[in-house]
Every structure is written in C-alpha cells, then in structure tokens.
A and B are shown apart, each in its own frame.
Chain A
Amino acid sequence: MSLADIIQANDQYHRWIEESVDRAKKDKKYQKDLEQAWQEKISALEYRSLPTELEIPLIALPHFDHPAQIARYLGEWGFPGEFPYGLSIYPKAFLIVDNQREHEEPTRIFAGLGSPEMTHERFRYIVKQQQSKRLSTAFDTNTLLGRSADNPDYFFDIGEGGVSVTTYQDVLTLYDGFFEDDVSISMTINGPSLWMTAARLQAAQERGQNLAKVRGTSQTDPCKEDDAQNELLFPLGPSIKIAMDMFEWCSLHAPLYYPINVSGYHIEQKGATPIQQAAFTLANGFVYVDEALQRGMNINTIGKRLPFFFTSGMDFEYIALLSAVRRVWAVALRDAYGADDLNAQKLKAHVQTSGRSLYEKEIQNNISRTALELFYALLNYPQALHSNSYDEPITTPTEDAVRIASDTQAILFEEMGGFKDMMAYLSDSSGRREAYHRIIHGILDYFREIDQLGGTLQAKADGFFRDEISQSSSGYDQQVHSGERRIIGVNRYSEGRKESRTVSRVEVSGEVKRKRVDDVRRFKEQRDPKKVKMGIQKLQEAASSGENVFEVTMAIVKEVTLDEWTHALQEVYGMYRRKI
C-alpha cells in the first residue's frame, strides 16, 4: 500500500463526515436515527456517587441541540471504544468501578544498571511496589551495539545506563523468577533484538512456561533507529527483514508477545516536533504492515500485533496527539487495508513523558513537568504509561526518584477526581478539538511529501526524515537559548538560583565491571566449541539464503552469544552506516 492510498482513505473519511453532517441537517429519517442512537447511549449510562455524594455519569457525554452535532461527534471522535477511536480504544479505560479497573493500571517503570544480578534485584523491588507485574528493561551501550562485555575496548561502558547482557545465562539471571504468565517484560532493544527476544523466549520455555502464554514487548523498530537513535547493527533493509522474521514467527508461536513496538518517542527525543513524531512513526508503522502483508500474513493479525510508543511533552499538541494518531491509523487499517477485526483497527499505545523536557537546573521542577505531561497523556487514554524520574538528566534514576515518578501516576489515577470517576471528561473540549484536527492535517501533509519522494523507505535513504528532525531540533535549541521557549528556573526566573545538586549519581563500580568480564569469559569457555561453530554456520546460511533468521536464532541462542550472533550476521549483511 502506498501512502497515497492512506491519504486517500483519510480524505475520503473526512468527506464522509461532512456528508453525514450535511445529511443530518436535512434528512429527517437520518435525524431520527441519530437521535435514537444517542438516546440509547444516554439511557445506557451508569451513574455513581462520589465520596462527596455528588452523582455523576460514568461517561461524559456532550449535550447536543441538533442531530448534526451528533453526526459530527460520532464521525470525528467516536464514542469511547468506537471507531475512529479518537477518544479511547476501550469504553471504560481507567475508570475504577466496584473498586476495580477493567484494565490494569498502566504504570511501567524502567530499570537496568550494571550486571544482570543488580538489575534483577531492582526488578524485585519494583514489582513489590506495583499491583501488576510489568518490567521494563534498559540495556547498556555494549549490549545495544551487539558487543560482548568482555571486549576490552569497551570496558568503561559496561553496565552504564543499562544492564549488561551478553550470554543466555545473563538472560536467565536477569529475569529469574519472572518467567510467569502474569508477568509482562518489555525490552528496550533494537539492533540485537532478535537475539535478546530469542534468549528471553527460550529461557521462559526452559523454566516451564508455555510460549503461547508469554507476555511482553521487544522494541525492534529499525525504522526509527534510522531516523533517530542510529543504533542498528545491519543496514536498514536487512534489519527490517529480520525484524519481520521475528514478527511472523511470534504470530505463530508466541501470539501474546509483541515483537515490534513502533516508536515515536526517540524520534521526538531527537528533536522532532509533535506532528513529525506522529507522521514519521505512523509512516514507519505502515512499512511493517506492508512487509508483513507481503509475507502473506493476514491484516487482522498484523493490526493486532503492532503496538506503538509515543511521547507526551509540554507542547500543546500533546493534548490530542495520540487521539489524532489513532484516528489516522484506524481509518487506514479499516478503509485502505481492509482490516475488519475491530481490534486490528485499534492502535495500542504506550506513552512516556518527555526526557527532553527535563533539566538539570532546579531539578525538582522536573516532578511538576512530568506530572503535567502525564495529565496530557491521560487525556488521550493510552494503554501504558511511563513517567520519567526527575533526576534523569544527571543519573540513572535513584530509588527515591523512581518512587516519586510512579506515585505521581497513582495520584493522578487514584487520588484525583477525574480519570477514576468519569470517562472522557475533557475529551472533546474545544482545545483538544483544535489540536486534533490540525495534527491530522499535518500528518497527512507529511504523508503527501513522503509519497512524492518515492515512499517512506526511499525518503529515509535520502535523508529526508533525519533532515526534517534535525532542523526542528536546532529550532528548539535556538528557542531555549533565546528564551522564546520559557523554561522555568533555567532560562526564566533563573537569576540567583543555585545549582541543585542534591541527588547523587548511581555508580557502576570497577568491581562489578570486572565480574561481568569474568562471567562472560567463563560462559564462553565452558561451551562446546563445535556446537558454537555449527550454530554460527547455520545462522549465516539462513541469512544468506533468506530463510527465517529468528527461527534459527531460537535454535542457537543458548550457545551463541550476542556478539557472536552480531558478527556472524554482519558478515552477511554488512554494518549499518550511521547518518550524520
């Protein structure tokens, strides 16, 4: 499918809304139908009594004087849980009914530092604080670039900023005790994602878990790596190819697992405006849809297995960014791709507050920033949410800061009246409506431009995405620098402020690093070299002949380490060329 088809589907949908509004102004029968449908919604409303004894409905429905308004509301937004999912993909989302939520609270806390043992410890601490068991893993640079912890050239990087993983044993240690059906593990990893996912799935099996029940997410978004992070191991083409190998394999064998997470977050962190984030991420999503279709996968299966990841920041657009993205996606999936399973039309999104919006100066102000970004995010009803710790500008989050971050979410969810009491209580506010329409428009404009450049992949090869992002990035920088963009305590009201340096940095000691080297060496020495050699050979054969590389990775991951896997495939595919 080309972006032109997707633009056309969205344009057509837009026209359909206008036509049905027009009809609702003239056509008496249509008016009756609309009024009746609306009446049904209102009669079905449940009510609740708040602790203050105020009676309110569970869903906030607007008051309409004319059926044309109903037509517009249903067309533009849809009732919560209904097409085009402008308000929410679920009808109840975060409501607390009978002291329970239909969907578990969306909190996810990121962790990863030093050795697998250290991070494992941290996971246990986090799980104790949460109702649901959701783990989120950060890896160190060595791991993300497919290097072994025993590579002496990169000794300094071991365990910095994330956990160091090189061997199958490391994965067993890292998630020990968490290979359970009620635990969801997400892994922020891209280049080496196939190896890591295979190790994680194999480990689950070894610990007696049925693959069909394993839950979690691997990031595996090579497109956004090319746009932003630049941490791929192989050129973009083969990187996408093997990602799709895993996507296809998991759809058959690990159907609850999300092997790809289409991520706008990093695109935004790199400097993209909210609309660029939305447009580029969706364009990337459609690349995966198209690739999966070419393999003969069913569009309904594909749609259900592709979750997204976005930022919520301080810019106004975030009041409705996810809503707009959901609508463009739903219309494309239903009308351009023909997905008739409603679940395939619903874009599921994890949202994280913006790390870029946090500053070192007056560092505790970051708590307020994060809280407000959470609020913007929640107005869009995401499926999962991560709040940054206020000390992230200077360190891997400390325990205190992590607690504040997750408490902030709980305060919004459970303490504050609003999300827990009434669904969609601000959803079609006039401010959100303005943002929503402008964002949809902006996304489609970008699609047109990308389409003219020969489609998403060609536009990437020619540097279009990166150039756009980098322009926005310098613009943003300039705004902060000149004070046009006001940052409180940083470029505004900053005179006489002292540097706040109350937090201390989390350190990875030389001892931990040396132990990592020893552990990895020992693992490597204890293997049967023949098996390793054969495994690597099988992998390279599969890669050269176009077979499913993930399937082979599953078969060899217990022997072949991350760095060996990386080298073997680089010999076939070549290395990724970072763009400037």
Chain B
Amino acid sequence: MKSNDGHDAAILVIADALKQGGIEVILGGYDLTVDKFVDAIIQEGVHFAGISSYNGGHVPFFKAVRDALKKKNYPYIHLIGGGGATLTPEDIEILEQQEGIDKIFRAGERDSVLPYVNEHFDFSVVPEEPEALLEGVKTGDELALSKLINLAEEKARLDSLIEDHRNTVHHEENKNRATSLPDQSYWEEIGGERGILKTIERYKKCLSTLDNLVRERPSRVFGITGRGGSGKSTITDELILRFFKDGRMENKKVAVISIDPSSAGSGGALLADRIGYIYATDKNWVDTRRIFIRSVASRGYGQGIARALPDIVKILKAGGYDIFIESYGIGQPDIGVTRVADQSIFVTTPDVGGAQQIEKEDMLNIPGVVVVLNKSEHRGSRHISSLLRKKVPSERLFLTTAIEHRNPGINSLYQSLTQHLN
C-alpha cells in the first residue's frame, strides 16, 4: 500500500480492516516514487497493490506503475487504488477502462475493499517452475528471489497445515494415521489444491541445489530482536546506512527480512517495518539496487520468527546478500532468531521494568548476544544500564539513541558488529 502524501489515516483504516479479514498487508511507504513502489511490489511478492492518492497527478502515476510492472514481467499483480474525492468519475473511468487499473475505490467505499480483495484473491498464483528461478537467484535477480521466497512461504504454510492436521489426528488418538499425509478431501476442505504439493516438492529439490552457492558466497546474518517499539527498525535502518557509507562494503549487498506477528484471530497481519527504513529505501543515501527488503508475517509460528525463515535466509544467502533479520518480541521466549543468525542483537529500552524483568529475559542468556539499550536519553536509562552491566560484558553492551542522527552509540554498535567483516 502506498500513500501519495501525508494523509495516512484512511490507509491505516483500510489496512486494519484487511488485517482483520485475514489478509497480510504491507505498508509500502509514504510519498513513494514509481520506482520505489515497484521495487516494493517485486521484493515483497504481493498479489495486490494499492495506491492512495489525495493530490492531483494520480492518473499518470497509476499508469506509470502499471507500465513499469508490465516491463518487469511481474506476474501476480492486481492494482487497486483510491483516495479523496479529487479522484473524479472521469479519472476513474480512464484508469479502469484504459490504463489497466483493476479497481478504484472512491471516498466512502472503503468497506468494500475487503470483500473485493477476498473475491479476487487467488491462492494458486505461485510460479509453476521453480527450476527456472535458479539462474535468477545466481545473478541476483530480484524477481526470481522474490518468487522463490513466495514458494518458501507457501511451503511453510502447507507444512503448518499438515502439522495441524497431524496434531488433530493425534488428538483423536489415531497414531498410525498421524504419520501419513492428509488425503484429498482434506486439501479440498482447506481450499488448497493437491497439485501445489508437486510444485513444492520441486521447490525443495531446487533449494537443496543452492547449498553450493551458499558455500561459495560467504555472508553474515544479523538477527535483531526485542519488543515492538523498542527501536529495532530504526536501528536496522541506521546500521544499513553506515554499511553503505563504509568503504569496506563497496560491493556487498544487503537484505532485510522483517518479521512481524500475525493476528491470532484472523491470521492477517499488518507489516509496517518497511516504512521505518527511510535511508535503506532512498537512493539519495544508499545504492538501492543493492538492497532487498522482504516483510514476513509470523503466521503463528512463535519465538519471534516465521516457519519459512531458514529457507528465506538460504535463498538470500545464495543471492549473495548479507542479511539483517528484524525479528519481533512479545515477551515470551522470542529467541528463534538466534538459531539462524550468526550474530544476535537484543534491543531493550529503559521502560522494561526493574531487576526482575531483566533477570527473566531469556535473550540475555544467549551466548555472545549483543545487547542494545535504546532510547537511552530517557531518565530511567542509568538504572537499567547498571543492571544490564551486571549481566553483559561491556564490549557487548551498547547505549543508543537511535532517533538521533550519527548517534555515537549506533556508531560503536556498527563498528563492533562489522569488525571482523571485510
């Protein structure tokens, strides 16, 4: 979803309604250029893309997006748009009839977005031939990477369904059947197709062929975790900015995998981290051709990560990327990211509570974890930092104020994380 200017209230209302309706929604950003919007669509591998526009100038903008996607051969897309009443009936007619925009919603029609998306959503649009994507992975083609990641997520979805099925069967105390695959009727029941299993089998084979490539292309994986709002996105963005200013990283590529929780009730999710990466998505600051950002919903997997994460990491490693994983925390053992990351970074803030809270924090017991006390400008930070010092050696503890540009704490953090990189 993209907002053409600062009027983001309507976007958030629609995004929330979609999330409640079980859809995974990625916020693409404000005031995007055509290029940035198209990059986001491709990297995120989305099926629907929406544009909200309040100023004039939208007709050519929509058209340019449609043209750019066509040029890049993007297969899935369904483009929808909406905005204020500055979209006149004449505009809407032009866009829908001539410019290939699938649907424009007018002011007051926002309740019809979710039904529309439900009606037009097609689960079966996954690439048929995973093998054809391998070449693209090698050359770092973003569309190929993205399609493969879509398959990784699809596989994870099916794995979960199978697991759920087994658990139910297990529950019925029929242990023999629990090891077998669900039968055809089950697949029909959950709305999927048996045929997709074949594609997934081929995907698995493809993934195993990536092993060599991964070995050839050494890359580092940083896993950043901490509670929502602690500053993970801000820190990630600041680290990436430094990465691109760092002469040692001249030919390196960076991928960000950003995981946010799915809503337990609806299964939908609102993935907003992309908006927080202001430097990482701006070509005035970084070489955006060397950045790949993917937002991933946890889909109930737990531990602050998603089931597909190891596969996604593997695909991006094969693509030659150094990787930042922004995991999420809700205070339960959220340590999943430590299993896939070479270096884990735990972000906390002065408002976490007292000594007891720190004592209970699992992340602090992970060997080698780097601890960041962000929002350190707060009054309570001295107290918490002294508590942390008792548990974490000083070379692995950083006090940061990530909202401050060129913050010395972030500088030290960056130095420390990259001291062994070249």
CA of A567 to CA of B12, assembled, Å: 30
Flag if A360 contacts B107 (CB, 8 Å): yes
- Asked whether A393 and B272 contact (CB < 8 A) given A237-B404, A360-B107, A574-B405, the answer is no
Stretch at the interface among B1-9, B18-26, B190-198: B1-9
CA of A458 to CA of B351, assembled, Å: 13
- Check: A229 CB closer than 8 A to any chain B CB: yes
Q: Mark A428-470, 1 if CB is under 8 A from B, else 0.
A: 0000000000000000000000000010001001000000001
- Asked whether A461 and B85 contact (CB < 8 A) given A161-B55, A508-B56, A580-B272, the answer is no
Stretch at the interface among A78-86, A150-158, A278-286: A150-158
Question: In whole Å, how far is B40's beta carbon from the nearest beta carbon of chain A?
Answer: 14
Question: In whole Å, how far is A197's beta carbon from the nearest beta carbon of chain B?
Answer: 22
CA of A270 to CA of B33, assembled, Å: 24
CA of A270 to CA of B7, assembled, Å: 8
**Residue among B8, B9, B285 with the highest chain A CB neighbour number at 10 A:** B9
Flag if A577 contacts B234 (CB, 8 Å): yes
* Neighbouring A residues of B234 by C-beta, 8 Å: 577
Per DSSP, chain B at the interface is: loop
* Neighbouring A residues of B73 by C-beta, 8 Å: none
Flag if B6 contacts A229 (CB, 8 Å): yes
Tally of contact residues, B, Cβ under 8 A: 43
Flag if A567 contacts B284 (CB, 8 Å): yes
Flag if B284 contacts A505 (CB, 8 Å): no
Of chain A, the residue at the smallest CB distance from B56 is A160
Flag if A394 contacts B57 (CB, 8 Å): no
- Asked whether A141 and B5 contact (CB < 8 A) given A237-B404, A580-B272, the answer is yes
Q: Mark B96-137, 1 if CB is under 8 A from A, else 0.
A: 000000000001100000000000000000000000000000
- Check: B35 CB closer than 8 A to any chain A CB: yes
Stretch at the interface among B144-152, B274-282, B359-367: B274-282
- Check: A398 CB closer than 8 A to any chain B CB: no
Tally the A-B contacts, defined by beta carbons under 8 Å. Answer: 87
Q: Mark B79-91, 1 if CB is under 8 A from A, else 0.
A: 0000011101100
Flag if B55 contacts A160 (CB, 8 Å): yes
Flag if B275 contacts A394 (CB, 8 Å): no
Q: Mark B225-254, 1 if CB is under 8 A from A, else 0.
A: 000000000100000000000000000000
* Neighbouring A residues of B86 by C-beta, 8 Å: 394-395, 505
* Neighbouring A residues of B8 by C-beta, 8 Å: 230, 580
CA of A271 to CA of B56, assembled, Å: 23
* Neighbouring B residues of A237 by C-beta, 8 Å: 404
Q: A346-392: which have CB < 8 Å to B? A: 360-361
Q: B279-299: which have CB < 8 Å to A? A: 279, 282, 284-285
CA of A218 to CA of B155, assembled, Å: 56
CA of A360 to CA of B276, assembled, Å: 33
CA of A395 to CA of B33, assembled, Å: 23
User: Which residue from B88, B107, B108, B278 sits with its C-beta under 8 Å from A505?
Assistant: B88
Flag if B13 contacts A577 (CB, 8 Å): no
- Check: B378 CB closer than 8 A to any chain A CB: yes
A-B contact pairs, 8 of them (CB 8 A): A141-B31, A156-B57, A156-B58, A156-B64, A394-B88, A461-B377, A477-B9, A580-B8
Chain B residues packing against A (C-beta within 8 Å): 5-6, 8-9, 12-13, 27, 30-31, 33-35, 55-58, 60-61, 64, 84-86, 88-89, 107-108, 234, 272, 275-276, 278-279, 282, 284-285, 375, 377-379, 403-406
Enumerate the 3 nearest inter-chain pairs by beta-carbon distance, A residue then B residue, closest first: A574-B405, A156-B57, A360-B85
7 further A-B pairs in the complex, CB-CB below 8 A; given A394-B88, A577-B276: A140-B55, A156-B58, A157-B55, A270-B9, A393-B107, A461-B403, A575-B282
